[in-house]
C-alpha cells in the first residue's frame, strides 16, 4: 500500500519570514502595551498629524503656488531658490506616495489588531508594510540634510529675520532628524504599525532622499528635457 504523503513543510525563506513576522508582532505589542498608558494620546496624535500626507500635500502645494508669480506660470525655467526647493520636495513626496502605495498593495500585511480610531484615506491604507508616515518624515529629514546649504540661504533671505547665528539655522537639520525619529517611533506606540513597518519606511525615506538629491530633481529634468 502507498503510504500517505505528509503535508509539505513551508520552504526555508517562508518559514524564516513567518518567524520574523511573529517576533516583530510580539515586540511591537510589547512596546505598545508598555508605553500606551504612559505617553499621552494627544502627543502621539499630534506627531501623527505632523507627518500626515493629507495635511502635508495641501500645505506644500499652497506654499509652492504662493512662490510662483502669475506671469511666470509659463514653461520658463524656475530660478527662485525657494521654488526650486519646494518643487524638488514635491517630486520626492510624489515618489514616496507611489512607492508606498505600490509596496502596500503588493505585500498587503494587515495592521495590528489593536489599531483603533484610524481614518483610512485610500484602500492601501488598510495595509501596514511599510509605514507611510515613517517614509515621508524620513524623506523630509534627509531632504533637509542634502539641501541644507540651500535651505540656510532661503532662511537667511526670508522675512523671518533669522540671523547667521540663529539656533534654528544652526540646528535645523538636527531638529528635523529628531522629529522624523520621534514621529516614526510614535507609529508603533500608537498601535498603527509594527516595528519592521517603521524600519522599512525609514530606509525607504532615506533612499528617496538620495534619489531626489542625485537623480530625480528639477535640475536634472531640465537637462534631460531641454
Residues 211-221, mean pLDDT to the nearest whole number: 91
Task: Look at residue 104 and tell me whether its pLDDT is greater than 60.
Answer: yes
What's the confidence (pLDDT) of residue 99?
Answer: 96
Q: Model-level pTM? A: 0.88
Q: Is 193 a catalytic residue?
A: yes
Q: Is 133 a catalytic residue?
A: yes
Per the CB < 8 A criterion, the answer to whether 43 and 35 are in contact is no
65 against 69, higher pLDDT = 65
Return the bridge partners of 127, or none: 110
Residue 127 in 3-state DSSP? strand
Return the bridge partners of 110, or none: 127
Residues 156-171, mean pLDDT to the nearest whole number: 75
112 CA to centre of own chain: 19
Question: 500635500: which residue's cell?
Answer: 57
pLDDT in tens, 105-146: 999 999 999 888 777 767 788 899 999 999 999 999 999 999
Amino acid at each position: 500500500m502507498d503510504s500517505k504523503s505528509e503535508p509539505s513543510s513551508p520552504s526555508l525563506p517562508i518559514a524564516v519570514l513567518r518567524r520574523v513576522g511573529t517576533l516583530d508582532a510580539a515586540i511591537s505589542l510589547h512596546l505598545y502595551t508598555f508605553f500606551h498608558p504612559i505617553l499621552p494620546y494627544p502627543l502621539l496624535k499630534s506627531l501623527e498629524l505632523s507627518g500626515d500626507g493629507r495635511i502635508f500635500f495641501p500645505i506644500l502645494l499652497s506654499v509652492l503656488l504662493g512662490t510662483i508669480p502669475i506671469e511666470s506660470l509659463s514653461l520658463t525655467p524656475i530660478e527662485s531658490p525657494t521654488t526650486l526647493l519646494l518643487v524638488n520636495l514635491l517630486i520626492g513626496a510624489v515618489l514616496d506616495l507611489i512607492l508606498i502605495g505600490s509596496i502596500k498593495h503588493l505585500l498587503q500585511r494587515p495592521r495590528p489588531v489593536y489599531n483603533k480610531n484610524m481614518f483610512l484615506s485610500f484602500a492601501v491604507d488598510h495595509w501596514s508594510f511599510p509605514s507611510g508616515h515613517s517614509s515621508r518624515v524620513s524623506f523630509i529629514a534627509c531632504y533637509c540634510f542634502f539641501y541644507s546649504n540651500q535651505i540656510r540661504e532661503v532662511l537667511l533671505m526670508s522675512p523671518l529675520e533669522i540671523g547667521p547665528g540663529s539656533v534654528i539655522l544652526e540646528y535645523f537639520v538636527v531638529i528635523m532628524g529628531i522629529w522624523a525619529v520621534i514621529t516614526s517611533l510614535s507609529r508603533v506606540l500608537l498601535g498603527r504599525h509594527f516595528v519592521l513597518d517603521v524600519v522599512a519606511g525609514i530606509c525607504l525615506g532615506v533612499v528617496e532622499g538620495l534619489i531626489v538629491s542625485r537623480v530625480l530633481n528639477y535640475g536634472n529634468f531640465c537637462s534631460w528635457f531641454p
